Amino acid sequence: MQHEGTRTIESYAHRKNEHQPRSGLSSTSQILKNTWESVGPPFAVPIVHRTLRYCQITVQLYCATVSTKEENIMDFFEAVKARHSIRAFQSRPVEEEKVNRIIETVNLAPSAGDLQAYEIVVVKDSRRKNELVRAAGGQSFISEAPVCLVFLAYPERSSRKYGRRGSELYCLQDATIVTAYAQLAATALGLASTWVGAFDEEAVAKVVEAPKNKRPIAILPIGYAAETPDVTQRRRISEIVCSETSGAPYPSFSFTDESYKRPTWEPRP
Ligand SMILES: Cc1cc2nc3c(=O)[nH]c(=O)nc-3n(C[C@H](O)[C@H](O)[C@H](O)COP(=O)(O)O)c2cc1C
């Protein structure tokens, strides 16, 4: 019998096929050829560039979806590029082995003083996931995901060694780093997620029965994607990277790989 999730992912891949990769690429090359011939190189170059970029992103997303089925593991750079916030999940369960793979990966993340001032709660229970939805202002995709990881910072653990810096900063950084690692590990395993930070902390703590000395900092719903994500924008590199001093231009940057380019905010919000 065909697995429900397999059927869904196949229809998802099929749906994407209708729009993009195989026939899509050949019709795209025809469009590019026509563009080149009709408007000439000076005008065609930016159009061709944008079109190729669009194809590249689409193929990447397609590959990420297919790799899920074939159990391929992506390398680091592929995973970074393939990660997008996904807010719709299939009902297909997440394999226990993949959850364990995520856990063993985040365990290798750096932490201040190697204290690992965090805790990760794995939530699969539907009732609890529904409560997380309520605590997060009704973000219903949380309960669609078969697994949610709730990341708690553990201020006391860090403050014992580092005082206020530990309780106000390091524990938050420790917990944040593991959340980011978990997102990338999930992507590398063909899974999808969204970092959820908009929630009532007390309510989330109550859902996972966290004691007062542990602070929820993120919820990560994880599952198999059931949507094609938006390609999100990024600030210009020149706005976020400086040379030597804050605010000073960093002229040496240029993309080494065009596929890392994203549409930029225009105007900057
Ligand atoms: C600290 C933080 C909090 C976030 N909170 C939410 C949230 O509550 N709900 C949500 O849908 N997305 C949330 N996001 C996801 C961002 O909206 C998303 O990362 C951003 O729009 C960029 O899109 P991308 O992840 O697809 O690159 C959060 C991301 C971060 C890092």
**Nearest atom within ligand 1 for CA of residue 84:** 26
Domain count, the chain: 2
Question: Do residue 21 and residue 113 come from a single domain?
Answer: no
* pLDDT over threshold 60, residue 219: yes
Question: Do residue 18 and residue 89 come from a single domain?
Answer: no
CA of 85 to the centre of ligand 1 (A): 7
* pLDDT over threshold 70, residue 255: yes
Q: Which candidate, 144, 30, 46, 166, places its Cα nearest to that of 89?
A: 144
pLDDT at 18 (0 to 100): 31
CA of 196 to the centre of ligand 1 (A): 6
pLDDT at 144 (0 to 100): 98
pLDDT at 36 (0 to 100): 52
- On whether the CB atoms of residues 135 and 207 are closer than 8 A, the answer is yes
> Whose Cα sits closest to atom 27 in ligand 1?
84
Domain end position, chosen among 200, 223, 246: 223
- On whether the CB atoms of residues 9 and 224 are closer than 8 A, the answer is yes
71: tokens are 């159990």
Is residue 124 a part of any domain in this protein?
A: yes
The pLDDT-based confidence of 230 (bands split at 50, 70, 90) is confident
CA distances from 225 to 67, 79, 123 (A): 12, 15, 18
Question: Do residue 60 and residue 139 come from a single domain?
Answer: no
pLDDT at 57 (0 to 100): 47
Tell me the percentage of the chain whose pLDDT exceeds 70. 72
72: tokens are 């391929």
Is residue 56 a part of any domain in this protein?
A: yes
The C-alpha atoms of residue 35 and residue 182 are separated, in whole angstroms, by 43
Per the listing, tokens 């938006």 go with 230
- Could you read off the pLDDT of 6-15 as tens digits, one per residue? 222 222 223 3
Please tell me if the CB atom of residue 110 comes closer than 6 angstroms to any atom of ligand 1.
Answer: no
Which residues does residue 222 pair with via DSSP β-bridges, in sequence order?
A: 147, 193
Question: Do residue 95 and residue 68 come from a single domain?
Answer: no
The C-alpha atoms of residue 52 and residue 45 are separated, in whole angstroms, by 10
- On whether the CB atoms of residues 28 and 55 are closer than 8 A, the answer is yes
Domain end position, chosen among 20, 43, 72: 72
Question: Do residue 122 and residue 214 come from a single domain?
Answer: yes
Which parts of the chain are beta strand (E)?
118-123, 147-153, 192-193, 215-223
> Whose Cα sits closest to atom 13 in ligand 1?
196
- Could you read off the pLDDT of 23-78 as tens digits, one per residue? 333 344 454 455 555 555 555 555 544 555 544 544 454 444 444 444 568 899 99
The C-alpha atoms of residue 141 and residue 194 are separated, in whole angstroms, by 9
CA of 193 to the centre of ligand 1 (A): 10
pLDDT at 32 (0 to 100): 44
More confidently predicted of 64 and 251: 251
* pLDDT over threshold 60, residue 247: yes
Is residue 211 a part of any domain in this protein?
A: yes
Question: Do residue 57 and residue 91 come from a single domain?
Answer: no
- On whether the CB atoms of residues 32 and 48 are closer than 8 A, the answer is yes
Domain end position, chosen among 18, 43, 72: 72
pLDDT at 73 (0 to 100): 81
**Domain span holding position 145:** 85-223
Question: Do residue 93 and residue 147 come from a single domain?
Answer: yes
Please tell me if the CB atom of residue 229 comes closer than 6 angstroms to any atom of ligand 1.
Answer: yes
* pLDDT over threshold 60, residue 160: yes
Question: Do residue 66 and residue 100 come from a single domain?
Answer: no
Question: Do residue 64 and residue 117 come from a single domain?
Answer: no
Is residue 252 a part of any domain in this protein?
A: no
> Whose Cα sits closest to atom 19 in ligand 1?
85
Please tell me if the CB atom of residue 137 comes closer than 6 angstroms to any atom of ligand 1.
Answer: no
pLDDT at 172 (0 to 100): 98
pLDDT at 46 (0 to 100): 52
- Please tell me the total number of residues recorded for the chain in this structure: 269
Is residue 102 a part of any domain in this protein?
A: yes
More confidently predicted of 131 and 58: 131
- Could you read off the pLDDT of 168-185 as tens digits, one per residue? 999 999 999 999 999 999
Average pLDDT over the chain, rounded to an integer: 82
* pLDDT over threshold 80, residue 5: no
Is residue 244 a part of any domain in this protein?
A: no
Question: Do residue 17 and residue 68 come from a single domain?
Answer: yes
- Could you read off the pLDDT of 75-91 as tens digits, one per residue? 999 999 999 999 999 99
Question: Do residue 146 and residue 171 come from a single domain?
Answer: yes
- Other CB atoms within a 10 A radius of the CB of residue 163 amount to 11
Q: At what angle do helices 4-19 and 21-39 cross, to 10 degrees?
A: 20
The C-alpha atoms of residue 149 and residue 193 are separated, in whole angstroms, by 10
Is residue 262 a part of any domain in this protein?
A: no
Is residue 187 a part of any domain in this protein?
A: yes
Q: What is the CATH number of the domain that holds 130?
A: 3.40.109.10
- On whether the CB atoms of residues 213 and 113 are closer than 8 A, the answer is no
* pLDDT over threshold 50, residue 3: no
The C-alpha atoms of residue 106 and residue 175 are separated, in whole angstroms, by 10
Question: Do residue 134 and residue 210 come from a single domain?
Answer: yes
CA of 52 to the centre of ligand 1 (A): 27
**Mutational pocket test of ligand 1: of 144, 195, 199, 204, the residue with most ligand atoms within 8 Å of the beta carbon:** 195
193: tokens are 């997620």
